């Protein structure tokens, strides 16, 4: 099977350490199942941990930073790149996703938990609630002069400030300041809340990329490995019930308190 060996379109992973390399392999195999001809690259510090046939090119980078992706993304060999975190699974072909880059420099989704100060945080700018952080774990971009300059600036700003731990804080500021033409993807391309599947009607969406920290639970001593949509949905349903149970201890955010009654089935908001 002939894959794109130079330029063109491809998917990029950046994974440091055996556990994250293992997750990247799991994700890439799910990608291969739905997109067998797409080129897939990996940047890692442990190439010996990677089985044959999963990635087309592997670039070894010793002593990787936890946010090494910021350095790796502008070094892509592809004209159009889909960067994905290792804690992802692909459910459906990407279709015409890359064609978004005909009109935009990059595309990504809003983050979840938008009523949390952490997700609204910027370093240099206080933006409206309607401009939250964007999740950088699924990031579609083209290799243009403007985009590469943006990526280099993102890395430079992040690594220059030791007080900032989350790259999305700097990204939020930069998107607010910039004239970069970017697009906000619908959630099915970075599905962080898999319980949306319980709410969506059949024609609402085509779930394409799952992205969940619960794929890391086994690495953190939080039970057995979650590696399938079915297992993830089961865990997320339990977690959702627990989140709303905070009402009993008065820990729900103010906005959520106003409509928790609708979830209890009494038909009215508080």
- Does residue 2 have a pLDDT over 50? no
140: part of which helix (H) or strand (E)?
A: strand 134-142
End-to-end Cα, the chain, rounded Å? 59
Whether the predicted pLDDT of 260 surpasses 70: yes
Q: Quick check: 140 and 100 in contact, CB under 8 A?
A: yes
- At residue 151, the 3 state secondary structure works out as helix
Instruction: Quote the CA–CA distance of 101 and 247 in Å, as a whole number.
Output: 43
- How far is 86 from 156, CA to CA, in rounded Å? 23
Report the share of the chain in percent with pLDDT over 70.
94
pLDDT tens by residue, 153-177:
999 999 999 999 899 999 999 999 9
Q: Considering the entire predicted model, what is its pTM?
A: 0.93
Alpha carbons 143 and 6: distance in angstroms, whole number: 13
Q: Find out whether 90 and 33 touch, Cβ atoms under 8 Å.
A: yes
Tens digits of residue pLDDT in 29-69: 999 999 999 999 999 999 898 999 999 999 999 889 999 99
Q: Which residue has tokens 């508080």?
A: 270
pLDDT digits (tens, 9 = 90+) for 185-211: 999 999 999 999 999 999 999 999 999
d(CA 147, CA 34): 28
Q: 209 CB contacts (<8 Å, ≥6 apart)?
A: 84, 88, 89, 90, 91, 138, 188, 189, 190, 191
Read off the pLDDT of each residue in 221-237 and give the average, rounded to a whole number: 95
Cα separations in angstroms, 14 against 62, 75, 202, 238: 12, 12, 34, 31
- pLDDT tens-place string over residues 95-117: 999 999 999 999 999 999 999 88
Domains, the chain, with CATH or none: 9-189 (3.90.550.10), 196-264 (no CATH)
Strands 80-84 and 9-15: parallel
- The pLDDT, as a whole number, for residue 6 is 54
Between strands 209-211 and 88-90, the pairing is antiparallel
């Amino acid at each position: 099977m002939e894959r794109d060996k130079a330029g063109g379109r491809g998917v990029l992973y950046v994974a440091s350490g055996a556990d994250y390399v293992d997750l990247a392999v799991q994700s890439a195999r799910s990608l291969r199942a739905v997109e067998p001809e797409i080129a897939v690259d990996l940047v890692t510090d442990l190439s010996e941990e990677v089985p044959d046939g999963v990635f087309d090119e592997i670039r070894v980078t010793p002593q990787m930073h936890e946010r090494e992706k910021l350095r790796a993304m502008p070094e892509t060999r592809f004209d159009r790149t889909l960067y994905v975190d290792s804690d992802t699974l692909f459910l459906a072909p990407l279709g015409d996703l890359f064609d978004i880059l005909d009109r935009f420099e990059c595309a990504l989704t809003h983050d979840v938990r938008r009523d949390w100060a952490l997700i609204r945080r910027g370093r240099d700018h206080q933006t409206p609630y309607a401009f939250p952080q964007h999740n950088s774990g699924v990031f579609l971009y083209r290799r243009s002069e403007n985009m590469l300059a943006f990526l280099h600036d993102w890395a430079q700003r992040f690594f220059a400030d030791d007080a900032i731990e989350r790259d999305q804080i700097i990204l939020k500021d930069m998107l607010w300041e910039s004239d970069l033409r970017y697009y906000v993807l619908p959630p099915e391309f970075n599905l962080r809340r898999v319980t949306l599947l319980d709410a969506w009607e059949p024609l609402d969406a085509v779930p394409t990329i799952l992205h969940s920290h619960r794929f890391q639970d086994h690495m953190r001593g939080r039970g057995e490995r979650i590696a399938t949509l079915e297992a993830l949905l089961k865990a997320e349903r339990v977690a959702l019930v627990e989140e709303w149970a905070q009402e009993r201890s008065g820990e729900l955010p103010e906005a959520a308190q106003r409509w928790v009654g609708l979830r209890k089935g009494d038909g009215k908001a508080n």
